[in-house]
Amino acid sequence: GEDVEQSLFLSVREGDSSVINCTYTDSSSTYLYWYKQEPGAGLQLLTYIFSNMDMKQDQRLTVLLNKKDKHLSLRIADTQTGDSAIYFCAEGDTGRRALTFGSGTRLQVQP
Amino acid sequence: DAGVIQSPRHEVTEMGQEVTLRCKPISGHDYLFWYRQTMMRGLELLIYFNNNVPIDDSGMPEDRFSAKMPNASFSTLKIQPSEPRDSAVYFCASRDRAEAFFGQGTRLTVV
């Protein structure tokens, strides 16, 4: 079945770049997603990438996809304290099934 | 669009009582998902619908859980009778082709 794995915790200093990594197993994945969850809140869709793309950039966010290795990363440039949250990686296909989520990476930004 | 709307935001109930969670998906989205989030198990898919039809309910933990989608703009998740181990945050999400958006969740506490 589908499986998505992430490291549990990342700590960075304010102003540095953060890189959150994710691996997935399903080769039929069409979309790869990054969500952000702040305490007590829902999951906010940050960005997603088609599986036939290598990179997507959106302001401070850069998503890199290595389809051969089934590896996805999210880079946050100039990380701010407001970026402290849990970041979830997820994969899905064209809609025939639900998204499969990783366990989330807690990002702690130190001032 | 106001996004995915869930109600109530918080629910505290006594063990054995019936609980009904409600969700209004984003207009035009043809997929609706119910997830449960706990510290121990992370995000779990309970059930999802396509065009109001349940497609996969294999994640529903027990017969005490039931979900309906009587029309494209409304879904319910019912727990009867509720138990303390059902305490969790329940999320509803809706999806168009690529983007999947989550509601703010219902925090359920069964005492």
Q: Are A14 and A111 in contact (CB under 8 A)?
A: yes
**Cα–Cα distances in angstroms (integers) from residue A83 to residues A23, A36, A90, A98, B81, in the given order:** 22, 9, 19, 27, 39
Q: Kindly list the residues from chain A whose CB atom is less than 8 angstroms away from the CB atom of residue B101.
A: 45
Q: What pLDDT score does A95 carry?
A: 59
Q: Which of residues 61-90 of A touch B (CB under 8 A)?
A: 88, 90
Per-residue confidence in pLDDT tens, chain A, 111 aa? 568 999 999 999 999 999 999 999 887 788 999 999 999 899 999 999 998 899 999 999 999 999 999 999 999 999 999 999 999 999 988 756 788 999 999 999 999
Q: Closest-CA residue in chain A for B5?
A: A42
Structure tokens of A61? 């966010």
How does pLDDT run across B62-99, given as a tens digit for each residue? 899 999 999 999 999 999 999 999 999 999 999 988 88
Q: Does A60 touch chain B (CB under 8 A)?
A: no
Q: Do A95 and B97 touch (CB under 8 A)?
A: yes
Q: State how far the Cα of A99 lies from the Cα of B88, in Å rounded to an integer.
A: 19
The answer to whether residue B32 scores a pLDDT higher than 80 is yes
First CA to last CA across chain B, in angstroms?
36
Q: Do A99 and B100 touch (CB under 8 A)?
A: yes
